[in-house]
Amino acid sequence: MSELARLSERIARKILPISVKQSLKHYLKSTLQEDHPNSIRLLYPIQEKARYGYNSPPHSKLLEIISRDREIYATYLQNFLTYKEDFFQIPKGEWGQPALHQQPDEPFWLNRFLPGLDAISLYGLLCQYRPKRYFEIGSGNSTKFARKAIQKRALPTQITSFDPHPRTEIDSLCDRLIRDGVENADLSVFSELEAGDILFVDCSHYVFMNSDVTVFFLEILPYLKPGVIVGIHDIFLPYDYPPQWVINHYSEQYLLAAYLLGGAKQFRCIVPCAYISKDEALRQIIATNIWQAPEFNDGIEIVKPWINWLWEGTAFWLETR
């Protein structure tokens, strides 16, 4: 609420009769909602800051849980190296811009939205599992990397895209388009997913009444068949969201954290990219063989923050059971 609105409320509380106070309060609320329709009114003040990591320790229990399966993560990362020749052929692009003469529906590494480790994990899992179905809740650069894997490795995979507002070049990459949020979709479509199929989720990141994230965690994830591979993007566990993301008010990963802390009997973690990014031994499996390989560094200098972008990731991959 603006300073003017706060001042008006203070004045109203002191000098106006109750009926006028209520009318003024209603007017201020309605005006605020009209001027800022996506604003949220908080009843209590909150002190938003990164609580775990970023010069503070990570969440100790989540770190313990996620660290248990380091050998599994290493095995997946080693398997991804099978496709490193494919990775070397994907253009770097420029920061947020595709390479010259590159088609708009082609993937490139420095895309600003899908970090390097996330792209490798998506591409690698598609090639490893060769799914019949690949579902996306939220489409974009992930769709481009998925289609490239399907074409390059002759995968039998059909892409289904759930996204109310995708970029125009995405539609041509998909086999089935559902141009609405999952909160409005017929959720029975997710019963099509079988063991080895892949679901990648990159949606609003907001846990609200009837939000896409709430629907995913409460009405989709618990009902998936065993063996489905699920990736959730922008998950930093066992760390908090980055301090510079405070203004975004994201909350999705706290639901996933609650799943994990509650035992997570319905799935097992297979590739937690943010955790891998901070584990020197694990991150070097990809860095040494891809990012630092002569075939990737073909005379084009990669400088910060681009190096960090390639080395890092935030996709949290799990397998249902």
**Spans of all domains in the chain:** 3-35, 60-320
Mean pLDDT for the chain overall: 89
Q: What is the DSSP string of 265-313?
A: TTEEEEEEHHHHHH-HHHHHHHIIIIITSTTT-SS----TTHHHHHH--
If pLDDT is split at 50, 70 and 90, which confidence band does 301 have?
A: low
Whole-number pLDDT of residue 102: 76
In DSSP terms, 135 is beta-bridged to 160, 199
SS3 158: strand
Tens of pLDDT, residues 230-288: 999 999 999 999 999 999 999 999 999 999 999 988 999 999 999 999 999 999 999 99
Is pLDDT of 297 > 90? no
User: What are residue 136's phi and psi, to 5 degrees?
Assistant: -125, 130
SS3 181: coil
Whole-number pLDDT of residue 108: 92
Tens of pLDDT, residues 201-216: 999 999 999 999 999 9
Is pLDDT of 2 > 80? no
Whole-number pLDDT of residue 94: 77
Mean pLDDT value of segment 26-45: 67
Whole-number pLDDT of residue 202: 96
DSSP E strands, the chain: 133-137, 158-162, 176-178, 198-201, 229-232, 267-272, 316-320
Among candidate residues 144, 166, 156, 153, the one with its CA nearest the CA of residue 196: 156
Whole-number pLDDT of residue 17: 54
d(CA 107, CA 146): 9
The angle at the Cα of 116, spanning 100 to 56, to the nearest 5 degrees, equals 135
Whole-number pLDDT of residue 44: 84
User: What are residue 223's phi and psi, to 5 degrees?
Assistant: -105, 0
Give the CATH class of 60-320: alpha beta
